[in-house]
Structure 1
Amino acid sequence: MMQDSQKRKASHPYGEELSEGSLKQSIHITALSSISALGNSQEEVWQSYQSGKHFLSKTQIGKQSVWAAPLPRAIKEEIGILCRSDAKYKNLDDSVLYAIHVARTTVKNARWGHDSNFGINIGSSRGATSLFEKFHQEFLETESTSTLASPTTTLGNISSWVAHDLGSKGPEISHSVTCSTSLHALLNAIAWLQSGMTERFLVGGSEAPLTPFTIAQMQALKIYADSNVRLSAVEASFNDAYPCRALDLKKKQNTMVLGEAAAMACLEKNPKGDSLAEIVGIGYATEPLQHNVSISTDAQCFQKSMKMALNGLDVAEVDAIVMHAPGTVKGDSSEFNAIKKVFGEKHPALTTNKWKTGHTFGASGMLSIEMAILMLQHQEFIFTPFFEQSHPKEIKHVMVNAVGFGGNAVSILLKAPSSK
């Protein structure tokens, strides 16, 4: 009978034997940037994480006021400048504009020149939400629609427009794996890099989900934070203080809140300059689904993806885990149960950012990568107000989790570049 370690081995085109979560070559994140409710610079984002407050607000979306995490006005104004810079950009959805804006900053930070040879893989869970709803409403009223209805709502618009804007010469890929989209983009880029077909890749996700129909979909699933629920005075005060209680394992109701964001990273093999973090393990798995949207009580998909990402590393070496933790009762608890199955009761320090940023769907995984990198850089654990635990004194390895509808889990293990 084959040993477990032998079962994990897979034949590689280059004739080498690699475990599923191992990397053939050193892959580094050399630049990362984002826009979200936290801000649009690494300094601003770090300061937002230092604050004990959330960045959610009551927002008018369609005919109702709901908890949401829209982009700050200053960022929206910068997006407006982008629209005015080229007439073609005026017809693009916010999800595409956010991606173009962040891609420019990320590539600049990596010192990749315009017209360079690098791949692009940027995805979105919902895609062109605003334009889809606008064109569909137009169709309902007139039984016809705009000439641009199809080309401007194609999911491939994101990577294609970013490539056009940056003048890149590599492959352009867009996809949707719902909430794990940006980490699947990272996985895909690693495959390209390790194949030798390219040396650099821009990856990430972009999401503009604050539209009436998108909110209605989440409410229909009964997972959205209810701003009209009747609560006692104490409960109401706590609800306003923390409308999304991600990683609160004692909550009795779902508290997911949506947020706008785009986040991207530059990946390179053996970079010549500095790197922000090294990717030392990757994991992925799909849940054997019993329902269209749910995962098992102990999240088998996360158990498999985390074990794969460990790639032989002792569980005690992982200092922190940035959880997916969307703020739902079952979502948070199932991931926590999976962590205990893999790491035991003495698990790494656990955190999440969704109580601050809301759930940004396809961009959320890359925002979690950003959070992990900031902890590695500053050697400071970013807390969550709902989960009491001891904080690591030193942070060398951080695991990042994401999962989407359909149980498509991804786990990424990062380490500080100087860590051995």
Structure 2
Amino acid sequence: MTNSRTEAEAITVIRGRGRVSALGLALPPSGVAPSSPFTTHPTGVPVAALPAPAEAAVTELRRHPSYRQLDRTVLLALMAARQATAQAGWGNGEMVDSRVEGAGPSHHHSTPPLHPTTPPLHQSSPLAVSIGSSRGATGRLEEFHAGFLAEGSVPVAASPLTTLGNVASWVAYDAGQHGGAALSHSSTCSSAFQALGNARAWLKAGMATRFLAGGTEAPLTDFTLAQMRAIGIYSPLAAADWPCRPGAGRPSTFVLGEGAAVFSLEHLSAAQAAAETSPLLVLAGVGFGFEAIGSKTGLSPEGQHFQQAIREALAQANLTSADIDAVVLHSPGTPAGDAAERAALRAIFGPTLPPLLSNKWLVGHTLGASAALSLDFACHVLESQQWLPAPFTTDLASIVDKPIRRILVNAAGFGGNAASVVVSQQ
């Protein structure tokens, strides 16, 4: 193992990233925890919904004629992808509409950039897109179904607007993609890491040179919240009382949230990496695990799928457990899930675990977007070496005594699947 770019293998780097969540378009603040970002849903339960400024951005984005009918899940992905492409220097997210005479930025695109203005995106090499979402077009699907029950028919657009593939295809459209793959993934709450793993594999194989990959979810509907409550895991705490509490024990404090995070990925040769003058965020390994157990909502007490995913991610990164400086947990605040993940970590790291971190107490559990938002949080920690201490009793770390250079990020979901990512700064 080495940290030297001149001796390293080819690597997958994160050129840019974007996010939207209950924290808005920003990264978690530093210092003392602000007031709880959670709000009370009309059904009476706490949720991690977008704050007013981000909600206004969604409303403005929907003014685009092509985007008026899109599901909220897709719109959140567009917002995050625009930030990621801008940070990567790939363009400003303003779509290039070849249907407009004279070609150039679409003259009917009324959404203001969510980032500094740069030239429109013209890809010099194929751009591919891979986006994960557990449920896809949740809101629109429920609307169309309600209309069908009431009227016995649905609009022509019902099917194309609710297929899972429409998530990635609209991100590709908005990015001005011409050629290249547009892939949508659904593997419950590890969907974003499925998308990132696929992107990394395609880049390594030379099937693409640039990838937009991540996860998105807008599940705050009455029906979806009722499903989560029916499982018996929803938090009984009020929105103002930090209702999502990973690692706090009983009662269960699962809280549903909405959001998206997208990453601009490139694959660099050893020579290209060595020529870089700024620190690089490296997607060093993506591992997967599966537990064939009878319960499709539960998991084994030992977290076998976590163990499989972690070991595979470490092996891909050519690292051992001793090389990991911190872990961003999946830890949704359910006692059984939190305990199983920690049991899996002890099986790999031994009785003394690395510092444990989480962002779910700030953004809730965003299902198919959760892994992507966790990875974005891990990148923030690598760059800033800072994070907020949780304002409740938990096993989450508040400080560490050495620099954090490599972080393991976990995700898991219904059906017995798990995924882990190793991200490092070089």
- TM-score under structure 1 length normalisation: 0.85
Matched, 1:67 2:31: no
Give the residue type in structure 2 aligned to 1:55. P
Counterpart-to-counterpart distance in 2, 1:381 and 1:37: 16
Letter in 1 for 2:85: V
User: C-alpha displacement at 1:241, in angstroms?
Assistant: 2.0
* Other structure's SS at 2:285 match: strand
The offset of 1:197, in angstroms, is: 1.2
Q: How much does 1:105 deviate?
A: 1.6
Note the C-alpha offset of 1:259. Answer: 0.8
1:254 match: secondary structure: coil
Which of residues 284, 290, 294 in structure 2 aligns to 1:280? 284
Residue 304 of structure 1 corresponds to 308
Do the aligned partners of 2:36 and 2:240 also contact (CA within 8 Å) in 1? no
Separation in 2 of the partners of 1:134 and 1:381?
39
Q: Percent of pairs identical after alignment?
A: 40
- Show the counterpart of 2:260: 262
Provide the residue aligned with 1:150 in structure 2: 159
SS in 2 for 1:34: strand
Match for 1:375 among 362, 381, 388? Answer: 381
Structure 1 counterpart of 2:377, which letter? Answer: M
Contact 1:285–1:302 (CA under 8 A) maintained in structure 2: yes
2:16 aligns with: 31
**1:204-219 paired onto structure 2 within 5 Å:** 204-219=214-229
Is 1:177–1:408's contact at 8 Å kept on the other side of the alignment? yes
Q: Does 1:88 align with 2:88?
A: no
- Alpha-carbon distance in 2 for matches of 1:286, 1:172: 26
Normalized against structure 2, the TM-score is what? Answer: 0.84
1:189 to 189, 199, 202: 199
Deviation digits for residues 158-198 of structure 1 (CA, Å, limit 9, x no counterpart): 11111111111321000111100111111000110111111
3-state SS of paired residue (1:411): strand
Q: 2:395 aligns with which of 387, 390, 395?
A: 387
The answer (yes or no) to whether the contact 1:31–1:276 under 8 Å persists in 2 is no
Aligned-partner Cα distance in 1 for 2:24–2:68: 23
The 8 Å contact of residues 277 and 415 in structure 1, kept in 2 or not, is answered as yes
Aligned to 1:19: none
In structure 1, the residue corresponding to 2:345 is in which secondary structure?
A: helix
Give 1:125's aligned residue. Answer: 134
> Shift of residue 240 of structure 1?
4.9
The gaps in structure 1 that reach 5 residues or longer are: 1-22, 228-235
Question: Shift in Å at residue 218 of structure 1?
Answer: 0.6
Could you tell me whether the CA contact under 8 Å between 2:22 and 2:363 is conserved in 1?
Answer: yes
Equivalent position SS for 2:159: coil
Q: What is the alpha-carbon distance in structure 2 between the residues aligned to residue 279 and residue 49 of structure 1?
A: 28
Equivalent-residue separation in structure 2 for 1:180 and 1:393 (angstroms):
30
Matched letter for residue 418 of structure 2 = A
Alignment of 1:5-404 (within 5 A): 25-41=10-26, 45-47=27-29, 51=33, 53-60=35-42, 64-84=43-63, 86-113=64-91, 114-116=121-123, 117-168=126-177, 169-226=179-236, 240-248=240-248, 250-251=249-250, 253-270=251-268, 274=278, 276-311=280-315, 312-384=318-390, 385=392, 386-387=394-395, 391-404=400-413
Give the CA deviation at 1:49.
7.7
Q: Deviations over 1:104-151 (max 9, x none)?
A: 121111111424221100121111111111111111111111221111
Q: Do the aligned partners of 1:299 and 1:337 also contact (CA within 8 Å) in 2?
A: yes
Aligned equivalents of 1:295 and 1:354: distance in 2?
20
The one-letter code of the counterpart of 2:68 is K
Superposed displacement of residue 199, structure 1: 1.2
Residue 280 (structure 1) shift: 2.1
CA deviation digits over 1:220-264, x for unaligned, max 9?
11111235xxxxxxxx8xx8522111121x32x221111110100
User: Are the aligned partners of 1:349 and 1:391 in contact in 2 as well (CA < 8 Å)?
Assistant: yes
Distance 1:70 1:370 in 2: 18
Worse-matched range after superposition: 278-287 or 331-340? 278-287
Amino acid at match of 2:259: A
Which segments of structure 1 move beyond 3 Å, counting only runs of 4 or more? 271-276, 381-385
Query: Deviations along 1:53-107, whole A, 9 cap, x unmatched?
Result: 43212121xxx211001111111111111111x2121111101111112211211
In structure 2, C-alpha distance between the alignment counterparts of 1:163 and 1:49, rounded to whole Å: 37
Q: Hey, what's the Cα distance between the residues in 1 that align with 2:30 and 2:189? A: 23
Q: Provide the secondary structure at the position in 2 that maps to 1:259.
A: coil
Shift of 1:352: 1.1
* Cα shift readout 1:13-63 (whole Å, capped 9, x = no counterpart): xxxxxxxxxx9631111111100011213xxx2316852643212121xxx
1:316 Cα offset (Å): 2.1
- Report the Cα offset of residue 415 of structure 1: 1.2
Q: Quick one: distance in 2 between partners of 1:240 and 1:38?
A: 15
Change (3 A) 1:200 1:262: same
Aligned residues: 376
Distance, in Å, in 1 between the alignment partners of 2:360 and 2:30 is: 13
Contact 1:95 1:207 survives alignment (8 Å) = yes
Against the structure 1 CA distance between its residues 39 and 137, is the aligned structure 2 distance closer, same or farther, given a 3 Å change threshold?
A: same
Corresponding position of 2:106: none
Any unmatched runs of 5+ in structure 2?
Answer: 1-7, 92-120
Counterpart for residue 15 of structure 1: none
